[in-house]
Structure 1
Amino acid sequence: MALTKLGHSELEIAPIGIGTMSLKGGATKQNTEVLQRAFELGINYFDTADLYERGMNEDMIGQVLAPIRDKVVLATKVGNQWRSDGSTWDWKASKSYIVKAVDASLARLNTDYIDLYQLHGGTIEDPIDEIIEAFEQLVKEGKIRYYGLSSIRPNVIGEYARKSNIVSVMMQYNLLDRRSEVVFPLLEEKNISVISRGALTQGLLIDKPAKDYLQLTSGEVGRAQRNVEKLASSLGISKTHLLLTYVLSRPVVDVAAVGVRTLAQLNDLKDIIERPIALSEKNRTELERSIRKLAYKEHL
């Protein structure tokens, strides 16, 4: 699988990555096999967060990937702190919290450095300059190599894109949810990559009954399902292959982070990893036909 640089960084990543949030329960035999098999297939980007399972997900990643640490790109996120009673978490957008939280993530990930440290959310009211200072300090200290943002808020993305050295923005982007395209021109201008999540729409366009999705009606989703079925059949590829290819066909999208729980789900990705295809503009038009393009109503 061909590697590409993530934004203006020196991180070389494969176009399909693994979002590890769905691998629950620690370093079980199944989770270990999934991660090891993903690496064997050529996947080298693994994304987690200190929020997932109160840090247990980072622990699991650190344990399983330790033997190949220098061959993978580890990405995690910061900004949310669990309450002591475990009931929920609070947003902690401050320099002091970020520079402290990184040490706990480093310990759980069993590593001396994090390849990509991402702010896990963010609002326009945050002390953005102070947050940027925190990430820049961590880069200078060698605790992180690069930093990025995980957000779907155009105003927040715009601030970091203009003020900071972020190399990527993780955001939901798929055939049904194209709202984030509004920030693509700015990100392309700044050479900041998009890391797509949710490309498979939780199976809604693969094998689940049509239902309302965001502002789309079940009827509109049904038309999208038929578009996907028809084009996948004509191209001779699976619907999973097509949906991931659709997302990756945008030049600004360098990686699609996919959540998998089983080897069977991972093997569904094998075709796109081993046999990537190009999607023409005509193909994109066919897929998008009769699917209303949504727009953000807030955080503009």
Structure 2
Amino acid sequence: METRTLGSSGPTVSTIGLGCMGMSEFYGTPDETRAKDTLQRALDLGVRFFDTADMYGPFTNEKLVGRLLEPYRNRVTLATKFGIVRDEKGGMHGLNGRPDYVHEACNASLERLGTDHIDLYYLHRVDPDVPIEETVGAMGQLIDAGKVRYIGLSEAASDTIRRAHRERKITALQTEYSLWSRDPEDDILDTVRELGIGFVPYSPLGRGFLTGRFESPEDLPEDDWRRHNPRFQGENFQKNLDLVDAVKQMAAEKEVTPAQLALAWVLHQGDDIVPIPGTTRPEHLEDNVAATEIELSADDLDHLDDIAPKGAAAGDRYPDMSTVDG
């Protein structure tokens, strides 16, 4: 697989990474054996960029990813996140960006991952009660201590990114971006490119919706978090299904899958973009990796703009958007 560099001086990673969240919760019942097979297949196919977070599981995803990647640790870029506080039973306890918590969370992640350093450490969500300079300043101390190599933000607004970057160099911004989540085009992409910050889209397949696998909300497992997502509910679901049907039609004409077309669109938005589609199945991973070989013409991109212009998706991205930095 070809590689891309995150930002002006960040790590060089595989063109796409692998989001590991669904291997532990949110998208149905976890299957550790299948997760192991998926991670191994990713390595076989040249994926070298893996993304997790302390709150996934909670706490179990870091342990899983760290254990399975341990033999390959020096060959991969491992990213994790902190800032969304959960307890062992999964309860949510808000956001925490206090400097003392930055150090506490990092030490705990290092232990769970079984490593002496984190390649890319993100603030998962911006804590509105703590100046971003204080949080990022503490993250910078982790670099000075050798515990972290690069730092990043997730779902941060442009002003927050600029303030953070003045305090300490930010290497990457992770934010949802896909054919049905194009908000970063308003100003986020311009900001990170001006500052030399890499852009890492999560959910580039619209949480699986853009794969064309879902015909109704009932296709989701009972314990799947997406049943609570506004875009997967009621009238929103049907409106979004119409969008996906148009993607499916174009994909059929190009003899690719809808997932490959949607992911290829993200990859064509710039060489500084490294999406991290999540999956728990080796066959879906293979489908995603194949998208790196798809060429889209200017006419193809224009057609996709017509199919899915900014604001085309119905419904908010989360049931509660208050934790997304505005």
Task: Determine the structure 2 residue equivalent to 1:213.
Answer: 231
What secondary structure sits across from 1:289 in the alignment?
Answer: helix
Aligned match for 2:275, one of 214, 232, 256 = 256
Deviation of 1:235 after TM superposition, in Å, equals 2.4
Which amino acid is the alignment partner of residue 230 of structure 1?
A: Q
Counterpart for residue 220 of structure 2? none
Query: Is residue 102 from structure 1 mapped to residue 135 from structure 2 by the alignment?
Result: no
1:226 Cα shift? 3.7
Partner residue of 1:77 out of 76, 81, 101: 81
- Cα 1:291–1:68 shift into 2, 3 Å: closer
* CA displacement, residues 150-173 of structure 1 (integer Å, 9 cap, x when unaligned): 115444334334543111111110
Moved more, 286-295 or 245-254: 286-295
Encode CA deviations 1:16-56: one digit per residue, 9 max, x unaligned: 11111111288932221111111100101110001111211
Q: For 1:52-90, what per-residue CA distance to the aligned partner results, in whole angstroms no more than 9, with x for missing partners? A: 112111111111111000000100001133246643233
Counterpart of 1:135 (choices 134, 139, 144) is 139
Counterparts of 1:178 and 1:81, CA distance in 2: 28
| Residues 284 and 149 (structure 1), Cα distance of their counterparts in 2 relative to 1, 3 Å cut | same
Is 1:287 aligned to 2:304, yes or no?
Answer: yes
CA contact (8 A) 1:210 1:221 kept: no
Instruction: Name stretches of at least 5 consecutive residues in structure 2 with no aligned partner.
Output: 218-229
Distance 1:239 1:267 in 2: 14
Question: Whole-Å Cα distance in 1 between the matches of residues 307 and 284 of structure 2?
Answer: 29
Alignment of 1:45-84 (within 5 A): 45-83=49-87
Q: When the two structures are superposed, what TM-score results if normalisation uses the length of structure 2? A: 0.82
CA distance in 2, matches of 1:221, 1:83: 34
Q: Which of 225, 228, 232 matches 2:244? A: 225
Q: Is the 8 A contact 1:204 1:210 kept in 2?
A: no
SS class of match (1:53): coil
On the 8 A contact 1:34/1:266 being kept in 2, the answer is yes
Provide Cα deviations, 1:198-248, integer angstroms capped at 9, x if missing partner: 11113323222378739x955653442243123222322211111111111
Give the aligned partner of residue 268 of structure 1: 287
State the match for 1:4 in structure 2: 4
SS at match of 2:80: strand
In structure 1, runs of 5+ residues without a counterpart are none
Cα 1:71/1:84, change in 2 over 3 Å: closer
1:72 corresponds to which letter in structure 2? V
* Alpha-carbon distance between aligned partners in 2 of 1:263 and 1:42, rounded to the nearest angstrom: 13
The one of 202, 210, 221 aligned to 2:207: 202
Cα 1:27–1:69 change in 2 (3 A) is farther
State whether residues 151 and 157 of structure 1, in contact with CA within 8 Å, keep that contact through their aligned partners in structure 2: no
Q: 1:177, 1:294 within 8 Å by CA — same for their partners in 2?
A: yes
- How far residue 125 of structure 1 moved from its aligned partner, in angstroms, is 4.2
Note the 1:103-252 alignment, pairs <5 A: 103-151=107-155, 153-182=157-186, 183-205=188-210, 206-209=212-215, 213=231, 220-251=239-270
Alpha-carbon deviation of 1:5? 1.1
Length-normalised TM-score, structure 1: 0.89
The alignment of Structure 1 onto Structure 2 pairs a total of residues equal to 298
Q: 1:16 aligns to what?
A: 16
Q: Residue 97 of structure 2: SS of its match in structure 1?
A: coil
Give the SS at the match of 2:116.
coil
* Aligned 8 A contact 2:201 2:276 in 1: yes
The one-letter code matched in structure 2 to 1:234 is E
**Structure 1 position 195, deviation (Å):** 0.6
